Amino acid sequence: MMEALQSPSPSPANVVSTKEDATAAFVPENPLTKMIKGMFNDETTADVCFEVCSAEGKDDDDGTKRAKTSTSFYAHRSILSGCAPMLAALFDAEDTGHMISAQISDVKPDIFQYMLGYEELMTHAKDIINAADKYSIVNLKLEAEAVYLNSTIFTVDNAMDNLLYADAKNCALLKETVLDFLADWNSTEAINNISFADFPLYTQDWITMTID
C-alpha cells in the first residue's frame, strides 16, 4: 500500500535544471565592448583626430566655388593599430602627448563615420567596401561585401559591372557569386550577349572557360 502511494521518481529526461538561468541573472555582461563603443568619436579621451574634407560645393551665384569644409572625427591610436593599421599609420609613431590630426580627402565624411563605427552597412555597402579596401580594413570589407551580396539582385545587365567591380576591389566572394550566376543562367547565351571588351585581357579566357 505504501509503495502505491509513493510518487514515481522523475526520469532524468524530465528534470529541468534552473542552475544556469539563476547564475546568468547574477553575472553581468562584459562591459568592455560597450565601453569601447562609448569611446567612439569622444574628444575627451581621443589622442588622434581625422579632418575629413567634403567635396567642393556648387558654384555660388557669382561663379566662385564654395570653400571645402571638413568634419572632425576623434579616435584612439591604440584601437586603430589593431583594427585599421593604415589609418593608424597616418599619425607619427611618437606620442607627443597632444592631439594629432590627419587629413582625409578621398572619402566622404558620412562614409568615413560609418567606416570607423562599423555602421550603416546595409544602406552604404558599396561605399564602405571602397573605403575599407582603400585603408585595408579587411574585416569590415568582408562584412560589407556579404551585405552587398545579400541586398543585390544579379541580372544579365549588371553582371559584368559587378564582375569588373569585384576584380578591381579584389572581392573574391562577389566574383564567385557573379560567375556562378552566369554559369547557372545560360553559359552560351551569356557569352554571346555580354561584352567582355572592358574586362582585362588576361582574364577573358578564364571567364569564358568558367561559364562554359
Could you tell me the CATH number of the domain that includes residue 42? 3.30.710.10
Q: Which residues of the chain have pLDDT under 50?
A: 1-5, 16, 18
**108 domain-assigned:** yes
pLDDT per residue over 52-76, tens digit each?
998 655 555 555 566 678 899 999 8
Predicted local confidence at residue 5, as pLDDT: 46
**83 domain-assigned:** yes
The number of distinct structural domains making up the chain is: 1
**99 domain-assigned:** yes
The residue segments making up the domain with residue 48 are 36-118
**21 domain-assigned:** no
**105 domain-assigned:** yes
Cell of 187: 553559359
- The model's pTM is 0.70
**56 domain-assigned:** yes
**172 domain-assigned:** no
